Structure 1
């Protein structure tokens, strides 16, 4: 039944077509049963949409974390980013540390961040999950003199893999972050190193 909560629009569309067809038949035949059919189809569509609104899956919860973290990075809100990190994050994150994340969030002035090709897996029994996606961004590095240097990730973007753990029922947090691909021959270590160099500057500005 997961498909019903995550992608209800096929069923909603079918109910809408059925309701419209019933109204056309009602106008042609003047038979009241078609009015009942139209009402039933409309009620079914409304019920499906209600399920979509109320039934939130673990995959959707993980997606929300990804998009909220992207929005927090874009707006320079490191505490919001940090709130999504699991207690064991620093031990499992490897080279891509909280230090590097703080550097990116507070040391760079992001123009935009885009998430694409997001694939999410959530283990109901294990309480472990994963999100793989491509991230594209454009940002400015501000100098103390007031100038700025602009840069951007080359297409199709940097590949990321986020590990997740359900720390509490319905609450998923990031346990690790890995860079899986870098355009134009770059390396994950280069990405982490580039971001980390801004952390001292970010710390001074806090």
Structure 2
């Protein structure tokens, strides 16, 4: 897939910014710790499913210490409706202990430190750095992987290549919110099976050849 040029990308993200100036992630959280846990739980699960599971969890376990006091067994009961819940529960307990032991109970603001925590990979770290600490990091999920190549916005063979393409090609003034705009566009407009080209706000810029204007 051909990479769209700079001026086209600028027009695309100006359109996104006009329609949604302050895009927000859809995982419910109250602080950096609950955000970190929510993102870690969201792997291979939907945001809606995670929000349902954490609705009763976070009011009683919104710090590493409270999570440890709750314990793995009780945590497992709270999150058993989401995928891979047993392994995720183990990791949340372990990362809570690591936060207390190594970071004074605070969520660190560096990618390397975040990735050192059990169950936290690059994507999770990038989400936390972006949403809580305001860093222009790019968390590439399946939605972005799909539309990045379909549209020509930032094509790449894998998540890391697309992350770098976003950083290299999308204008700097749009970097902070770029991954949120792309995730929301992929989730609700540029969907996997039937992209909704008829209501797409950037359809005139998109390189996708099989547009269906009636959708």
Shorter chain as denominator, the TM-score bin is under 0.3
TM-score, with normalisation over the residues of structure 2? 0.20
More strand by share: 1
More helix by share: 2
Between structure 1 and structure 2, the one with the greater Rg is: 1
TM-score, with normalisation over the residues of structure 1? 0.21
